[in-house]
Amino acid sequence: MRAVVITGKETLEVGEVPTPEPGPGQVRLRMAYAGICGSDLHYYFDGANGEFVVREPLIPGHEVSGTVDLDPAGDLEPGTPVTVHPATFGQAVPGLPDAAHLWPGGAYLGSASTWPHTQGGMAEYLVVESHMLRPLPEDLPLDRAALAEPLGVALHGIALAGPVDRKRVLVSGAGPIGLLAVTGALASGASEVVATDVLPGPLERASALGAHRTIDVTAEAVPPEHFDVVLECSGAAAAISAALAGARRAGTYVQVGMVPNAPIGVNLAPMISKEVTVKGAWRFLDEIDDAVALLASEPRIGEVVTHEIPAERAVEAFVTAKDSQASGKVLVSLWPDG
């Protein structure tokens, strides 16, 4: 089968690899789309995502959609459209029975965190455990369904913040996850959703998706003590400090965007003086189910996708996805018709 394969820093090829065969409890999918995530960009441009170094050829892609190709158990008909929960959970931790996504030893599609690496879905075929599949509603097309995983990340952050209906929400960083957080907060009934960024392109996309206001933080400060809920989606130290300043007294702050695994300069004084509740958000547990339902009922969310690029032009797709001024979510189309 054909696949997009990363072998090291800025080394990517589209080539032939063995077609996987499903084992007991597994299903083989014919892939349609894969979204490019920040971790995929790190694997290509840096040869590593944090401490996870590409040590063998890696097929990226965990934001995926496709159709059932072969289900040995016969539970799903060939051609059934699906998206995939990309996590395999690890060993249970006492006291965390309902937080399997936090258990150690798990794996994620398209990740070099395991050895052998966990291959992803940027290929013609993908084999996954049957319980990872999420059949799609009839009114959810495969391209929009590829947003289920990143939307699940955004919805998990919103869930950690608690109910956001009738609340003022700040979304810090209007990249793809930030844009999906905007849509999620609006769908959850927030009375005001404000998005910030340092570039006009992401801010224009946030406005188009319904943000009540956008702020270019290079020219304007975040309103101090204004927001009931802050969803920080950029991971940039300066943005974290500004977002904490924007939280109201006794407000809630959720760190959705990944930060470097290193000391960074952040002003935590507002967190203390205002008794802000601060939470970290790690992927998601089962919010992908809510994401599928929301994507089906809110077609507008599909506007987060700005580019669909064929797999044969994968390098172009990765370069485009890195340019946050020019692109929102970039999808790679994966030979769905052979």
Domains of the chain: 2-135+298-333 (3.90.180.10), 154-280 (3.40.50.720)
Contact 71, 85 (CB under 8 A): no
Q: How far apart are CA 172 and CA 182, in angstroms?
A: 10
Confidence of residue 338 (pLDDT cuts 50, 70, 90): low
Q: Mind listing the pLDDT tens digit for each residue in 220-233?
A: 999 999 999 999 99
pLDDT at position 97 is 94
Q: How far apart are CA 235 and CA 19, in angstroms?
A: 37
Q: Mind listing the pLDDT tens digit for each residue in 230-282?
A: 999 999 999 999 999 999 999 999 999 998 888 999 999 999 999 999 999 99
- Structure tokens that stand for 316 in this block: 């172009």
pLDDT beyond 70 at 162: yes
Contact 20, 28 (CB under 8 A): yes
Mean pLDDT of the chain: 97
Q: How far apart are CA 152 and CA 256, in angstroms?
A: 11
pLDDT beyond 80 at 208: yes
Confidence of residue 296 (pLDDT cuts 50, 70, 90): very high
- Structure tokens that stand for 102 in this block: 């936090």
> Of the candidates 79, 73, 86, which has an alpha carbon nearest to the alpha carbon of residue 26?
73
pLDDT beyond 90 at 337: no
pLDDT at position 335 is 86
Q: How far apart are CA 332 and CA 172, in angstroms?
A: 26
> Of the candidates 251, 254, 256, which has an alpha carbon nearest to the alpha carbon of residue 234?
256
Q: How far apart are CA 272 and CA 306, in angstroms?
A: 40
* Mean pLDDT, rounded, for 65-84: 97
pLDDT at position 336 is 72
- Structure tokens that stand for 210 in this block: 């319904």
Q: Mind listing the pLDDT tens digit for each residue in 25-62?
A: 999 999 999 999 999 999 999 999 988 999 999 999 99
pLDDT at position 98 is 94
> Of the candidates 81, 85, 144, which has an alpha carbon nearest to the alpha carbon of residue 109?
85
pTM over 0.85? The answer is yes
pLDDT beyond 90 at 118: yes
Q: How far apart are CA 245 and CA 274, in angstroms?
A: 9
> Strand, coil or helix: what is 20?
coil
Q: How far apart are CA 94 and CA 261, in angstroms?
A: 26
- The set of residues, in sequence order, having a beta carbon less than 8 Å from that of 145 and lying 6+ positions away, is 33, 65, 81, 82, 83, 136, 292, 295
> Of the candidates 261, 306, 311, 288, which has an alpha carbon nearest to the alpha carbon of residue 135?
288
pLDDT beyond 90 at 292: yes
Contact 253, 232 (CB under 8 A): yes
**For the chain, what percent of residues have pLDDT higher than 70?**
99
